[in-house]
Structure 1
Amino acid sequence: MVMALRGQRAVSVLHFLCFLWAVFALLQNLGVPKPVRKDHEHTYGGHWKHLTFLNQVLQTILYALCVVTDVVALCIPSKEKSVSSVVVPIRDFLFAAYVFPVGLFVAFAFWSLYAYDRELVYPRELDDINPTWLNHSMHTTILPLLFIELVICVHKYPTKKKGIFGLTVFTIMYLSWIFWVHYASGVWAYPVLGVLGVSGKTLFISIAYSILVAFYLLGDCLTKWLWARRRKKCTC
């Protein structure tokens, strides 16, 4: 019982630290000075048209929910069951359908395109606006946060049908949003879309969606494999 309580406290501390980092990175992103080009065409949609920023928001919400469940479990155990019955399903679906696949996709897509031609995803002019550490907080440190959460907290995955459906709805909504931003301002959220024709965009989006689904399935497999092994050890 004592060991279990210590483990729960350790998980709570890690969740709290991850939450603080997520909030700090999000606020720093919001506080970055706008580009010199402040006309309507380049500011339309603000940070909200970039998947990187939306991913930071999703991670922050996830860790906020984790902290809530941890605090209730440790400080108000009599309320744990009622709170967990509401918060935990939301937390688990958020992690499974959005945070894990989208977080992996952001890091994979950004650094792949950056290695090929950084002008397609992160023009050099942004070096004068975003400090290097902030770039890594948006595109690199999100990975260890994802795997820390995967290891320290078991998340019940929905059925593949429900999980992929949720991810698909998110994808359609996001694509609709960035196409609207382009329609309203004439600017693509990602320069790579501006150099592709209709067939190129279709192929690019299809590949991106396939990778998202693959990352969802990877998260599902890793979770089941990792926690099945832990349960087996506990019964030995």
Structure 2
Amino acid sequence: MALVPCQVLRAAILLSYCSILCNYKAIDMPAHQTYGGSWKFLTFIDLVIQAVFFGICVLTDLSSLLTKGNDSQEQERQLKKLISLRDWVMAVLAFPVGVILPSSVVTWWLLREPERAVVQLPPELCSPRGVFPDFQFPLLVISFIVLFQIHSL
């Protein structure tokens, strides 16, 4: 079985982040109508940062494929600038926020397990007519942890 090239994997991750962002904005939650809207949630901020980072990665991969074989020094200089921007975004934004989010999720689960009343979901998010059924919220949290583990490889 052949491995998936990193360019295809990065493009797939970028598309999945964009689809999650579109679905997240489609959910009508009361918290989105208050001050700050979606931007007050760390998960949304991390989602945007990761989508921007993977967008820069895909752009870098495409530019390196397009400039392969050319001896233009200007294109090589622009590619080096794009690679340094990608590395800077990873070191300053994507990695630190991507590490803080799963650690806060793990802390939330550790606090929630002994006594569920300590950390409880708002009633408007719980079933029967809420956004998340009882089984879906833990799956959503686990999927974010899995996405983080995949992208940190």
Q: TM-score range by the shorter chain?
A: 0.7 to 0.9
AA aligned to 1:43 is T
Please report the TM-score for the alignment, with normalisation by the length of structure 1: 0.50
Taking structure 2 as the reference length, the TM-score comes to 0.72
* Distance apart, 1:10 and its partner CA: 0.5
User: Could you say which residue in structure 1 is the equivalent of 2:93?
Assistant: 98
Higher relative CO (Cα under 8 Å, sequence separation at least 6) belongs to 1
Within 5 Å, give how 1:55-204 maps onto structure 2.
Answer: 55-77=46-68, 78=70, 81-117=76-112, 120=119, 122-127=121-126, 128-130=130-132, 132=136, 136=140, 139-151=141-153
The structure where helix makes up a greater share of residues is 1
SS of the aligned residue for 1:141 comes to helix
Partners of 1:134 and 1:31 lie apart in 2 by 20
**Are the structure 2 counterparts of residues 105 and 60 from structure 1 closer, same or farther at C-alpha, using a change threshold of 3 Å?**
same
Map of 1:211 onto structure 2: none
State how far apart, in whole Å, the 1-side matches of 2:5 and 2:82 are.
Answer: 20
Count of aligned pairs between the two proteins: 139
- CA distance in 1 between partners of 2:36 and 2:95 (Å): 24
Question: Is contact 1:55-1:99 (8 Å) kept?
Answer: yes
The letter for the 1-side match of 2:85 is I
State the AA in 1 paired with 2:54.
Y
2-side partners of 1:104 and 1:134: how far apart?
19
**For residues 35-54 of structure 1, what are the structure 2 equivalents within 5 Å?**
35=30, 43-54=34-45
Unaligned runs of 5+ in 2: none
Q: Are the aligned partners of 1:32 and 1:130 in contact in 2 as well (CA < 8 Å)?
A: no
Are the aligned partners of 1:19 and 1:63 in contact in 2 as well (CA < 8 Å)? yes
Return the alpha-carbon distance in structure 1 between the equivalents of residues 89 and 20 of structure 2. Answer: 20
Report how far residue 124 of structure 1 moved: 4.5
Task: Tell me by how many angstroms 1:82 deviates.
Answer: 3.0
Alignment-derived partner of residue 165 in structure 1: none
CA distance in 1, matches of 2:108, 2:119: 7
Distance in 2 (CA, whole Å) between partners of 1:121 and 1:110 is 13
Q: CA deviation at 1:133?
A: 6.7
State the superposition RMSD in angstroms. Answer: 3.1
- Unpaired runs of 5+ residues, structure 1, are 1-5, 152-236
